[in-house]
Structures are given as structure tokens and as C-alpha cells.
Amino acid sequence: MTSPSRRRGALARALIGAAGLLLAPPAAAESRVPPHVQGTRTVPVYDYAGAIRESVWVSTGLDNDGDGVGDRVAVDLVRPRETARAGVRIPVIMDASPYYQCCGRGNESERKQYAADGTVTKFPLFYDNYFVPRGYAFAAVDFAGTSRSTGCGDVGGREEILGVRAVVDWLNGRGRATYADGTPARATWTTGQVGMIGKSWDGSVANGVAATGVEGLETIVPISAISSWYDYYRHNGALYTTDFGPAWLSGYVDGRPDPVCQPVRDALLAGSDNATGSYNAFWAERNFLPDARRVRASVFVAHGLNDLNVETKHFARWWEALGRGGVPRKLWLGQPGHVDPFDFRRAEWVSTLHRWFDYWLQDLPNSVMREPAVTIEREPDVWVNERSWPARGTAPVPVSLGAGDGTTGTLGPRPGRGTTTLVDAPELTESAAVAQPDADVPGRRVFLSAPLDRDLRISGTATVTLRVRVSQPNTQLSARLVDYGTAARINSLAPGEGVRTLDTESCWGVSTAADDACYRETEKNVVTSDYGVLTRGWVDAAHRDSLTRPTPLTPGRWYTVTWPLMPHDTVLPAGRTLGLVLTLSDNQFTVPGSPGATVDVDLRHSRLDLPVTLPPGLGALPEPRVVPRVSTREAPAVLDRGKEWTEFR
């Protein structure tokens, strides 16, 4: 399916082309094909070293720094000089980021660099080196309040999104910009077709700009990107942090003099409402999901299945919302954590990205939209292609919780009996909670399946439902789904989040003395382990019925609490054991608001809903005849959540 803007643009260009063919002899018609197009692909024919490098400041129509002067967004551009001379209009690949000066981009933390006269000489990442010789312009946009832009960063808010949207408008002749000397800058050299790309915060703003429905944005490639900022900082009312929230993040990337943006940061702190963890108007402004129906652009999503920074709920909810709107989509899911595909499947990523941009920005009829829509790394460096995600035929199958031997419970098809009790143990780490599942560890309850009698495909979002009786008005409930069985797994908990950086390099594009196209290669960090945590999820029990209006629980009364775990996709081989691990407070991942509870769980009315693909008539898990004995060695420590906030990029 094609987006409305692409259909209109392609039709107009087709009509113009048809008119040219009718009016011109064959030789003249052939000369209309620019030199960078050969058949259905672009090729590197333009001189990157001699390309035009320039900077413009785009007016946003906003003034959130309150100085009475309209805020302006700085845009550094590089484009082929040959197309400018020949009057050939070209599309634009854009990476809008807050990190170009404060922190750097990519695995090697590259920053923009400038000559003494202010001319940009180096762009981070490979996009400029690779695509400019192929007939593209590249635009590196500084968010409001960062680097050379004015205004103040509001972290996913109106200033951030509309400031970047203003650049798309300018590239389509609907906005104003100036050069450093104040003279007007006009983008007469471009077709107006824009593709946004970026990892993490960069990809998040691409989602947000696409959700405005701006015309001219033909495609976005969000990599490990946020779709709702509430979901970045919280999960079902459970806070991930109070120290590194939007106010802190705005200051972390701030490029303005210290006092200028403090009022904006104060407003961010107040609006985020750390006291309750509730969803409010502040977070609604930063939630792109409701506006997925407005997206005109195609979307190529890439995400890590083990990303503990921008978790998998972000890609899954965005992907599903786009699907409901009929948006053309493509999806890559890799095994590492918060890592760009350029750093774990480089050659295939660049090739696919090349075809994607050629199709959506150059209107070249290649095969990219006829290829499988979904590509998943099933195990380290083993990739499969599929038609959709979640997998076709996936349905939530209820799995019951059984009492087992009183220490270790069971997962199976028959409802359990009796109750089990959880006592809060805030000091309990994830490693201690999930290791040695047949041991009696205070603060946790483990439920194990029998060894699987066939391969089990889990694809989508599992949910946990517990019937609970609590000792105090609120508590946190935490759950982990665990794959028990010795296997080679990506070590996404180690530094590098699943990849190691090597000393060797590979080059992707054309280099200059100031801006080389070579990047250090990587390899997967694979370890043999006795178990792997597949997915996690938390809930603040007072938010069990509403994220906007928490309701305290009455001690001694029974309540039903249901919450989702992070979406996931895996195939558990026959012989493995599936485990569900329940705890209360989780100081390693969240900031529990009221620790110290004791919680009784009614097993008969509690369950795990597992998204699986099954032959008709078969249950998800085999009948547990005895509680399986599962021994595990000590696991590596999980990444420190506090450290992650400083490595968001």
C-alpha cells in the first residue's frame, strides 16, 4: 500500500514524465534520467569532497525561551554540487538530533565539526558519505535549545516536534530560513521529498514529526525509538526514575546559557508528576500513538528485542497503530539491546536502507516493498523473514499457575488451587530472583512449565493476571518470563548491549580529510548461559484500573490486577522450560512508591496469557506431572538502570 503523499507525488511526476515523452524525441527523453540513476538504483557518481556544505536557520514560529524573538532551528546541509549546477532537484535524508555537540552520534560518538568560518566540515555517521554521491542531500538538524539552535528543549513536546517539522516545511517551500548573515535561504534545489532517520531520541522525533501528518515527509526510519514518552519513563504507573526525567534530559543536551532554559526545565519537572506516576496532559502531548492515523510517511522500524533503554513496547505499539492506519511498514528485530543495526548487521542494513530510500525518495521501482515485511534475528546471527508481526496465527493462550511443591509452582493448562504469598524484598536483584528456580528464595515465587514437548513460538505481548490481597494501600507487582535451558545467547546485559567493538574498520561511502566514511567493525557478544530473561513487566497496583486516576487498595480485600509484559518474539526449542518469576518491588529497574507489602495470590484466579502460535486443539504448555528440577549457574549482572539514562543516545 502506498501513502497518500507518495501517491500524489508519484502521479504528478508520472504525468510530467509522460508529457516529456510525448513532446521530446527518444534521445532527449533518455537525457532526463539523472546520472545518479541506473535502472532501479542510485549509484555514486558525484564528488563528495566538492559537495556544497552550508548552514541555514529555519524559523519555527515558536518562542518558548520567552525572549520575544522567534526560535530558530539550525540545519547543516551537504548536497552534490553537480546536481545544483545542472538544475536537478534531489530528495533529502534528515537526521534531527539533540546530540550533535553535547554527546556525539553512533558507536564512536562522532560530533559535527566546523571550519573557522562556521562552514560544516564533518557530519556524524555514514549517511552523508554514502548517499550524497548517489544524488541525495543530507540534513543534520539541531533540536531547539541544542548546539546552534535557539529556543529550549522540551523533550518530545511541542517545541521539539514543531521545530523539526518546520524544516520539512521549509524544504517544501512553506517556511522561512536565513543564512548566518541574515539573507534569505530558499530550498529550490530539492524535490521536497524528505526521509527522516535516527536512533533513540533522533528516531523518536521522527515518529513525532510523522504523527503531525506533515506533507513532504515521505518516509521515516526510527531505530530504537520512543513512541510515547510516558512509556519511556514509566510502565503501568511504576516509575523507572525520578532523577533522570525530562527536566534532567533537557539540561543534559542544553546548548544555551545556563539561566535561559531553567523555566522550561522547571515546567518539565512539574508536568511530569513524579509524585503519582500518573498519565496526564503533559504526557499526552508527548504520546505519538493516537496520531498514528495522521501519518503520511512510510515507516521502516528497527529495534532490539533486548533493549532495556527504549523497551520493545515502543516499537510494538507504534507498529500496531501504523498497521491500523494502513501505513506502508517494514520491521527489523535484532537480538542486541539499544544498538543500531549498522553495528550488528552492517552490510545487509546499508543495502536495505539504500533500496528503501531509493524507492520512497527517488521513486525507483525496486523490489523493497515486495520483500518480506519483517526480518527477525531468531538467535545470534540467525535471521528469518516473515510476512507480519506478531506472527500470523498468534493468539493469547491462558496458562494457569499451580502450587507445585510449595516452593516452586507450575505453569500448565489446569487451574491451580490455594494461595501463595509474596513478601516484599527490595534488595532482591534480578539475577537472584530468576536463578536456581527450585530453591526457596525469600521475596519471589517461581512457576515452571514441564520441559516443552515441541518448539514453542512466542510472538507479541504476554500479560499477567493476579488475584491479590494486599497488606497495605499500594504495592508494586513485578513479573519476568524466563527461558530455562543451556544455550548460546546474546549478552545484552554487558557493556555494548550485545556487541563488541573491534579494532578493524569498514568503509561505507566516500571519505574526505575532514570526514571519513570508515567505522570500527563489531561482533556479537555471545555467551553460553543456563537461562535468559525473555521479557519483564511492572505495575503500580494503585494504577491497576487507570493510568490517570490511581485508586488505593483496601488491605485485606481481593483485587484482580492485569498488566502487560514487554512484547517479545522467540522460539523456545523442545526440551526447554518456561518460567514465570513474580516479585514485588524492583529497585534495579524501577522506583517503588510504597515498598514493604505482603501479597497473597489466589492461584485459581491467576494466570499468564501467552501469545503463541499453536496447531488447533493443542495447549501452550504440557501438563506438569512433577515440578521440574532446574539448576542454573550464577548469571551476569544486569545493566544498571541509572547508568542507562546517561547513555540514552
Q: Where are the domains of the chain?
A: 1-30, 33-386, 394-488+530-645
**Distance of alpha carbon 515 from the chain centroid:** 28
> Are 33-386 and 394-488+530-645 in the same CATH fold?
no
- Name, in order, each residue with C-beta under 8 angstroms of 32's C-beta and a sequence gap of 6 or more: 17, 20, 24
User: Is residue 546 scored above 60 in pLDDT?
Assistant: yes
CB–CB of 630/484 below 8 Å?
yes
Confidence of residue 7 (pLDDT cuts 50, 70, 90): very low
- The pLDDT assigned to 615 comes to 67
Weakest mean pLDDT among 24-38, 118-132, 159-173, 501-515: 24-38
CB–CB of 149/72 below 8 Å?
yes
- The pLDDT assigned to 639 comes to 56
pLDDT tens across 267-294, in order?
999 999 999 999 999 999 999 999 999 9
- Name, in order, each residue with C-beta under 8 angstroms of 509's C-beta and a sequence gap of 6 or more: 44, 48, 126, 128, 129, 130, 131, 132, 133, 517
pLDDT tens across 494-512, in order?
999 999 999 999 999 999 9
CB–CB of 507/363 below 8 Å?
no
User: Is residue 143 scored above 90 in pLDDT?
Assistant: yes
pLDDT tens across 433-472, in order?
999 999 999 999 999 999 999 999 999 999 999 999 999 9
Which CATH code is given to the segment(s) 394-488+530-645? 2.60.120.260
Rounded to two decimals, the pTM is 0.93
User: Which residues are annotated as catalytic?
Assistant: 200, 307, 338
- The pLDDT assigned to 271 comes to 97
Confidence of residue 619 (pLDDT cuts 50, 70, 90): low
8-state DSSP, 450: P
User: Is residue 416 scored above 80 in pLDDT?
Assistant: yes
- The pLDDT assigned to 527 comes to 96
Q: From CA 490, how far away is CA 150, in angstroms rounded?
A: 42
pLDDT tens across 289-310, in order?
999 999 999 999 999 999 999 9
- The pLDDT assigned to 361 comes to 98
Q: From CA 524, how far away is CA 492, in angstroms rounded?
A: 9
The secondary structure of 73-133 as a DSSP string is: EEEEEEE-HHHHHHT--EEEEEEEES-TTTT-BTTTTB--EE-TTS-EEE-SSSHHHHHGG
Mean pLDDT of the chain: 92
Mean pLDDT of 180-195: 98
Q: Which of 141, 139, 140, 137 has its CA nearest to residue 80?
A: 137
What's the CA angle centered on 107, arms 101 and 113, to 5 degrees?
A: 30
Q: From CA 566, how far away is CA 454, in angstroms rounded?
A: 24
- Name, in order, each residue with C-beta under 8 angstroms of 609's C-beta and a sequence gap of 6 or more: 396, 397, 398, 399, 462, 463, 464, 465
Match domain 33-386 to its CATH number in 3.40.50.1820, 3.60.70.12, 3.40.50.720, 1.20.1250.20. Answer: 3.40.50.1820
What's the CA angle centered on 438, arms 474 and 414, to 5 degrees?
A: 75
Confidence of residue 621 (pLDDT cuts 50, 70, 90): confident
pLDDT tens across 210-230, in order?
999 999 999 999 999 999 999
